[in-house]
């Protein structure tokens, strides 16, 4: 069957399509049907089934006689360590860790926050939670104590699983002060924190709250897999929205298993046993879906890579990992390739490696710019597939179904909607628009299995954020168009989310931090175009009259404040002091116009602007930090 037929088969009978896809999963009790729509517009999938994620990701492969296959390759250029873990070893390690968690009171439904660097134990912690039916919430290591505290208060975890440190080039990230700080700041207090000691920076576990990863496992019985209901949350992953408070995206267990498994062959074109590598971080959705769950559920070998595309030790690291570990399919963010291209524009370093094992490169997380795609294609000599998805969906909305039929690539488009997704472009009133017309990208409900059924403890916010604007549709927050061949083009966000090095960040969240500075009367944060990271945040500060402060000092203070409150991942390093912000007559800050000025783009003078002269002041301020031409 070609892709057209596959997509049509889903359109004609989604129920049959998803029940067939569900056959690939081991169920403790099979679902009687796929879609449960009695609570529309909230939908659930395979709700009456019983299933365990860890069984499907680990134990079933051992039971099928594939225990000796490598499940995880750990490659850490930052420490010089390489390791391999078979499926049988993974089963033993995860069952033992789950046993230790159970002995300390973790049960089905309890939340567990995981705050770990890119080590295989991060995957083991996720799987140990899944084994017990506990709901994990992984927090990216580049977030500060305050962000961790916000997540602790929202998820109210019984436990935290952490490591003693993370490793950034030239810098040890000490986790203990961050954990201490977060637990002090949070209202909710977890019962305990299990710490994996790393030899690069062991810490003293100086009170009963902290327990040792290995010691906790001494003498405990390994835990078996606990079957859970199909709609049981597998995990919560926080992501940025318009305001500072992150949204807790809920991932339902059964749909997650079925959908991720389906993508491995049909989109990534790998077979069980093939090596699959997603160079991301377990703290992001790409890491959840394609470092941890999908490759393991599908019986692939996954790579946990602790390093950067450049500097660990050089821009040839990716090529080394691909050739050394026989990688079939590689997935990363375009920013990583921009970093490599900047260091090694001619692609000289790839000549030292044989990467003929590779069949395709997949890019996501941010817009894939044509230059980067061309460069990657030329240097690597493999097809480059852009694909578009979100934390909320957990897997491809629009992509190229290479495992069914590789569709012609149109550079600038992530290609076409996958089965399960009826993607439409709507105008402000919610009417479908014609080919090549720009509008809001929306997806007709129901969303397919595995996508978010709601936000954690925030059903109203879920409806407000995604369902209310266009009744009957999910609002993606992206704007774009669909051409006459059905190819989608993503043009911009419709909200205040920016994308920095493939990381989704809220300018609203940064504004909240700036506004809390005692000398700042008013502020705005915008995302300006950056050659390497796609976008970078820039802050505009209006100082309190009479503050009498040195402007450079205040700028340095707010930069430090964002790093302390949100974390280094915000990459907030640029801010300027201005007298006034451009606003509409009703007082709305004209952020979009400021972005156009920063990027040196033509813009239309907003008809509702209060005082056009301010735009000149904004331009001068931006020029002082190297933007606006």
- Positions in the binding site for ligand AMP (CB under 6 A): 239, 285, 364-368, 386-391, 414, 476-478, 490, 493, 499, 504
Contact residue for ligand COA among 86, 121, 239, 280 (CB under 6 A): 280
| Least distance CB 408 / ligand COA (angstroms) | 25
Gap between the Cα atoms of 418 and 51, Å rounded? 25
| Least distance CB 333 / ligand AMP (angstroms) | 8
Structure token digits, residue 219: 């003498």
- Which one of ligand AMP, ligand COA, none interacts with residue 86, CB within 5 to 8 A by kind? none
Binding of ligand COA at residue 286 (CB under 6 A)? yes
CB of 441 closer than 8 Å to CB of 476? yes
Nearer to ligand AMP, 443 or 513 (CB): 443
Grouping H, G, I as helix, E, B as strand and the rest as coil, residue 397 is coil
500-559: which residues touch ligand COA (CB under 6 A)?
501-503
Q: How far is CA 70 from each of CA 91, 304, 440, rounded to the nearest angstrom? A: 12, 12, 44
Gap between the Cα atoms of 258 and 50, Å rounded? 13
Contact residue for ligand COA among 77, 133, 142, 448 (CB under 6 A): 142
Binding pattern for the stretch 472-501 against ligand COA, x by CB under 6 A and - elsewhere = -----------------------------x
Q: How many CA atoms lie within 13 A of 188 on its CB side?
A: 17
Binding of ligand COA at residue 141 (CB under 6 A)? yes
Helix (H) or strand (E) run with residue 270 in it: none
Binding of ligand COA at residue 355 (CB under 6 A)? no
Strand partners, 115: 162
* Long-range CB pairs of 218-223, under 8 A, 24+ apart, other chains included: 220/96, 220/99, 220/100, 220/102, 220/103, 221/99, 222/92, 222/95, 222/96, 222/98, 222/99, 223/95, 223/98, 223/99, 223/101, 223/102, 223/128, 223/131, 223/132
| Least distance CB 472 / ligand COA (angstroms) | 31
Gap between the Cα atoms of 396 and 389, Å rounded? 5
Binding of ligand COA at residue 568 (CB under 6 A)? yes
- Which one of ligand COA, ligand AMP, none interacts with residue 477, CB within 5 to 8 A by kind? ligand AMP
Nearer to ligand COA, 296 or 340 (CB): 340
- Which one of ligand AMP, ligand COA, none interacts with residue 320, CB within 5 to 8 A by kind? none
Binding of ligand COA at residue 277 (CB under 6 A)? no
Contact residue for ligand COA among 569, 574, 578, 595 (CB under 6 A): 569
- Which one of ligand AMP, ligand COA, none interacts with residue 504, CB within 5 to 8 A by kind? ligand AMP
Gap between the Cα atoms of 21 and 15, Å rounded? 10
6-65: which residues touch ligand COA (CB under 6 A)?
none
Compute the CA torsion angle 98, 103, 109, 114 (nearest 10 deg): -50
Which residues have a Cβ under 8 Å from the Cβ of 601 and sit 6 or more positions away?
none
Nearer to ligand COA, 244 or 537 (CB): 537
Binding of ligand COA at residue 335 (CB under 6 A)? yes
| Least distance CB 499 / ligand AMP (angstroms) | 5
Residue 72's CB: how many other CB atoms inside 10 A?
23
| Least distance CB 36 / ligand COA (angstroms) | 32
For residue 517, give the DSSP letter.
S
Residues that bind ligand COA (CB under 6 A): 141-142, 166, 168, 173, 280-281, 284, 286, 308-310, 333, 335-336, 339, 365, 501-503, 568-569, 571
């Amino acid at each position: 069957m070609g892709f057209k037929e596959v997509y049509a088969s889903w359109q004609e009978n989604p129920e049959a399509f998803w029940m067939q896809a569900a056959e690939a999963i081991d169920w403790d009790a099979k679902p009687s049907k796929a879609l449960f729509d009695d609570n529309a517009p909230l939908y659930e999938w395979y709700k009456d089934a019983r299933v365990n994620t860890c069984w499907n990701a680990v134990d079933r492969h051992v039971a099928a006689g594939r225990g000796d296959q490598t499940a995880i390759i750990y490659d850490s250029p930052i420490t010089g360590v390489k390791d391999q873990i078979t499926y049988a070893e993974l089963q033993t390690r995860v069952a033992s860790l789950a046993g230790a968690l159970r002995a300390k009171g973790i049960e089905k439904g309890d939340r567990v926050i995981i705050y770990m660097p890119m080590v295989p134990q991060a995957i083991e912690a996720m799987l140990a939670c899944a084994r017990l039916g506990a709901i994990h919430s992984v927090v990216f290591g580049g977030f500060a104590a305050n962000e961790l505290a916000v997540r602790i208060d929202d998820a109210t975890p019984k436990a935290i699983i952490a490591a003693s440190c993370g490793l950034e080039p030239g810098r040890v990230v000490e986790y203990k002060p961050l954990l201490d700080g977060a637990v002090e700041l949070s209202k909710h207090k977890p019962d305990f924190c299990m710490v994996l000691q790393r030899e690069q920076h062991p810490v003293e576990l100086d009170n009963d709250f902290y327990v040792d990863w290995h010691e906790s496992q001494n003498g405990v019985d390994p835990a078996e897999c606990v079957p859970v209901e199909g709609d049981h949350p597998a995990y919560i992953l926080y992501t940025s929205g318009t305001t500072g408070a992150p949204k807790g995206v809920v991932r339902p267990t059964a749909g997650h298993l079925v959908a991720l498994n389906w993508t491995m062959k049909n989109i990534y074109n790998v077979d069980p046993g093939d090596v699959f590598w997603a160079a991301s971080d377990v703290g992001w959705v790409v890491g959840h879906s394609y470092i941890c769950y999908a490759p393991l559920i599908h019986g692939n070998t996954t790579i946990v890579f602790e390093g950067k595309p450049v500097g660990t030790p050089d821009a040839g690291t990716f090529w080394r990992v691909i050739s050394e570990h026989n990688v079939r399919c590689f997935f990363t963010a375009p920013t990583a390739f921009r970093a490599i291209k900047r260091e090694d524009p001619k692609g000289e370093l790839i000549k030292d490696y044989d990467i003929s094992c590779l069949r395709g490169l997949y890019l996501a997380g941010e817009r894939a710019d044509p230059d980067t795609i061309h460069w990657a294609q030329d240097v690597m000599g493999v097809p480059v597939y852009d694909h578009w998805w979100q934390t909320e969906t957990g897997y491809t909305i629009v992509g190229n179904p290479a495992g069914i039929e590789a569709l012609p690539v149109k550079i600038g488009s992530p290609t076409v909607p996958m089965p399960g997704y009826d993607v439409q472009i709507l105008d402000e009133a919610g009417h479908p628009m014609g080919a090549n017309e720009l509008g809001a990208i929306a997806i007709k409900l129901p969303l397919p299995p595995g996508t978010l059924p709601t936000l954690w403890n925030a059903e109203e916010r879920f409806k407000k954020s995604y369902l209310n604007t266009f009744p009957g549709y999910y609002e993606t927050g992206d704007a774009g168009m669909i051409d006459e061949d059905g190819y989608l083009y993503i043009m911009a966000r419709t909200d205040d989310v920016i994308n920095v090095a493939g990381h989704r960040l809220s300018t609203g969240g940064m504004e909240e931090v700036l506004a809390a500075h005692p000398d700042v009367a008013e502020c705005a944060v915008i995302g300006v175009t950056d050659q390497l990271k796609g976008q970078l945040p820039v802050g505009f500060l209006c100082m309190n009259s009479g503050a009498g402060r040195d402007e450079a000092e205040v700028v340095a203070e707010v930069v430090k404040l964002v790093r302390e409150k949100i974390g280094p991942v915000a990459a907030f390093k640029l801010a300027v002091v201005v007298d006034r912000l451009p606003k509409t007559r009703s007082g709305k800050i004209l952020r979009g116009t400021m972005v156009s000025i920063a990027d040196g783009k033509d813009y239309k003078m907003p008809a509702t602007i209060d005082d056009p002269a301010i735009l000149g002041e904004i331009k001068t301020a931006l020029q002082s930090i190297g933007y606006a031409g």
